[in-house]
Amino acid sequence: MSDRLSALKLFARVAHAGSFSRAGRELGMSQPSVSRVIAALEKDVGAALLTRTTRALTLTEAGSDYLARIEPILAALEEADYAARGTGELRGVLRVAMSSSFAVREAIPRLPAFMARHPALRIELLMSDLHQELVSAGADVALRFGKLADSSATARRLGAFERVLVASPAYLARAGTPGAPGELAGHAVIAGPSGVSWTLERDGRTVSVRVEGKLSVSINEGSVAAAVAGLGITSTSRLGCRAELASGTLVPVLAGWRMAPVELHAVFPAGRAAKPAARALAEHLAEIAAVEDPAGSARAG
């Protein structure tokens, strides 16, 4: 039973690593040893689980189905081990998907304290500015901003962050500072490829302004950098430009007006219980939102 369980864990690791050698390095096994274990598992199962070529290692259709079926079992066993220890100690591998901006600005600086409390835990950050499909990416949890698409995945709201309009002092000195939302139409803006509508509210009055920029940027770091360079006004979360506001390289625009906050969720794969380590990291990162959440509800479920 122990050998079979080890083989299942190894198969899941190989499937996500996409490589016998990489999975072997992570688990302290040689590439030939990994290959032999997987071959024996395929013989026991009676089906080819992986397609091997000189350039790639991919799941067969049977392998994809097998992985989807065994991962909830492996997660349940991990949960049982965690509960039985009763020490709060986290072990194993935790794969976390998040945007590169959030990872670099907020998550990574907060990892030392978390990892010091859990020295037996290894964390893999899957950094991408595109929303990743959790199962195919092999992620145990994803940190996502904005409105969630309909999904069978389980999500926990960690908090919300104030959204602001910002520009560089040099740009405002050159182009003037807008005093009302309607004046934004006459300014250079940094927006998405197809433009966007910015909605602002003050004293119960709501105004929406359609803006289209000569420069469009698809990720937060790019739009913030463009604003710092004096290319116009952009919209971002206060979290996404906190360092620039503190240094003065960006300043708020229309500070008396409010925009709808952007929410942060921890999203867990559907069909299986969330890993204890995934829940613990989500709780740890919720502390960011506890300070920033304009609604004061960072720990709402």
Q: 26: domain CATH number?
A: 1.10.10.10
145 within some domain? no
Q: 252: domain CATH number?
A: 3.40.190.290
pLDDT of 299 strictly over 60: no
Query: How far apart, in whole angstroms, are the C-alpha atoms of residue 50 and residue 60?
Result: 5
Query: How far apart, in whole angstroms, are the C-alpha atoms of residue 71 and residue 266?
Result: 19
Q: Are residues 170 and 81 in the same domain?
A: no
293 within some domain? no
21 within some domain? yes
Q: Which of 60, 86, 112 is the last residue of a domain?
A: 86
Q: Which of 86, 118, 146 is the last residue of a domain?
A: 86
Mind listing the pLDDT tens digit for each residue in 158-168? 888 889 999 99
123 within some domain? no
97 within some domain? no
Check residue 131 and report its DSSP letter.
P
229 within some domain? yes
**For residues 126 and 132, is the Cβ–Cβ distance under 8 A?**
yes
298 within some domain? no
The pLDDT, as a whole number, for residue 137 is 62
The per-residue DSSP string of 82-108 comes to HHHH-S----EEEEEEE-HHHIIIIIH
Q: Are residues 166 and 81 in the same domain?
A: no
Q: Which of 23, 54, 86 is the last residue of a domain?
A: 86
271 within some domain? no
Can you give the length of the chain in residues? 301
Query: How far apart, in whole angstroms, are the C-alpha atoms of residue 157 and residue 154?
Result: 10
The per-residue DSSP string of 214-283 comes to SEE-SSHHHHHHHHHTTS-EEEEETGGGHHHHHHTSSEEESTTSBEEEEEEEEEE-TTSPPPHHHHHHHH
Residue 297 binned pLDDT confidence (cut-offs 50, 70, 90): very low
Q: What's the number of domains the chain is made of?
A: 2
Mind listing the pLDDT tens digit for each residue in 75-113? 778 778 777 876 667 888 888 999 888 899 889 999 999
Give the domain extent around 74: 1-86
The pLDDT, as a whole number, for residue 170 is 97
pLDDT of 174 strictly over 70: yes
